[in-house]
Amino acid sequence: MHHQLERPVFGERWYRRQRAVIQSLMRSPSFRARPYWKAAAVAENFRRACSGEVEESMFFWRAVNAEIWLRVYIDGSTRALDKDSYRRQRAVMLTARALAAGDADRDNAKAFALEAAKLEPTFVPAATLAGRMLAEAGEVRKAARIIERAWQAFPHPDLAQVFADLRFGDTARDRLRRIEVLAKRAPGHIEGALALARAALDAREFAKARAALGSFLAAPTRRVALLMAEIERAEHNDEGRAREWLARAAHAAPDPAWTAEGHVSERWLPVSPSGKLDAFEWRVPITGIASPAPAAESAPEAVPKALDGNAAALTALAAAPSGQSEPHEHAAASPSPEPSPPGPARHPVPPPKPEPVIPLVHAPDDPGPDALLDEGEPRVEPPNGGWRKMFE
């Protein structure tokens, strides 16, 4: 006999914790199309109840359960669900109830999780939750069987984490030995390699950690590169190598995640943002395409050897108008241009005089070119005065 759907005894606190999931369900097209309630009013009153503006109502719990029941047994089909679909969807709902109960109602949460794992043994969220609760209750062997069965069908990091922590108080080497057994049940799988490398790193077995990831280093995913950075820091305290792996992680291929309708969640959720039941899948996100490594900056254009290293010349060339030949001051450093064909006299506007290509530096005893222009003019001696009078 099926468990009767009842509102959790913790009421308002549960509503607030599951607020995002319930609101997404109330905004779904199917919920808004039901003739049994006014969807906009229900959603608004639920928001106010979560904010403490009004008292929470039993109607919210009934509406959520009715919506899920209608989706499972009525929507999209005029016949009863086949056995496999029924078991899957019931396992999803039981897992959702177990997660909602949490620590506030551990007995019911454990019962829901165990039933879900029994209905769908390869369903990772149910197996993970059931294994963790059994381990916390001291039922280690039963928890191990549930985890191993799900792992063989679907290796997942959450399963590996629960399996590593089955016994409270185990040393890092104990967890490593346990993970080695689990990894052998899915040989060659990247999740087994990552779990083994993590356990070996915690036990400071660096050779085992590197060997576990060895076959994935040619094209590492983000998690592989990040784990290699940790190994470099822990084993050799090599910050340079660690930074190299971090740089590779920034542009590495993404790892799988819980995704639904283009949204990525850090944990499994029973309902998608649009309200679809059992929509989240463990796969590489569609938008998570590995970005290519940044291309090296384009090399500067070739600079003539005659001008190489001459900052003033480069500035003058950059400032020259388009289509205009180099300034006359550059004639000494470049060949003279060919004479232009004869034609009518033109009076072009002279361009602004650029800075000289080669700065003119005068020797200490050289009066400079300006002295030639001033030879015909009498030199005016400054009148004796000021501080010179003090020595006369």
User: Which amino acid is residue 62, in one-letter code?
Assistant: R
For residues 261 and 272, give the distance between their C-alpha atoms in angstroms, rounded to a whole number. Answer: 7
Q: What percent of the chain has pLDDT over 90?
A: 45
Q: What is the pLDDT of residue 291?
A: 38
| Closest to 351 measured CA to CA, from 322, 391, 309, 371 | 322
Q: What is the pLDDT of residues 326-353, one digit of tens each?
A: 444 443 344 444 444 444 445 555 555 5
Chain-centroid distance, C-alpha 123:
26
The answer to whether the CB of 122 falls within 8 A of the CB of 150 is yes
Q: H or E stretch including 258?
A: strand 257-260
Q: What is the pLDDT of residues 181-208, one digit of tens each?
A: 999 999 999 999 999 999 999 999 999 9
Q: Count the alpha carbons within 13 Å of 269 in the hemisphere toward its beta carbon.
A: 24
383 three-state secondary structure:
coil
Q: What is the pLDDT of residues 39-48, one digit of tens each?
A: 899 989 888 8
The answer to whether the CB of 16 falls within 8 A of the CB of 267 is no
The answer to whether the CB of 197 falls within 8 A of the CB of 209 is yes
The answer to whether the CB of 100 falls within 8 A of the CB of 14 is yes
Q: What is the pLDDT of residues 93-112, one digit of tens each?
A: 999 999 988 878 899 999 99
pLDDT band for 20, please (50, 70, 90 cuts).
confident
187 is written with which tokens? 């040989």
φ, ψ of residue 264 in degrees (nearest 5):
-115, 130
Residue spans of the domains in the chain: they are 1-78, 81-168, 183-254, 256-289
Q: What is the pLDDT of residues 148-185, one digit of tens each?
A: 999 999 999 999 999 999 999 999 999 999 999 999 99
* Right CATH for 81-168 from 3.30.1120, 2.30.130, 1.10.287, 1.25.40: 1.25.40
The answer to whether the CB of 301 falls within 8 A of the CB of 55 is no
The predicted model scores a pTM of: 0.59
| Start-end of H helices in 157-310 | 157-164, 172-184, 190-202, 206-213, 222-236, 239-250
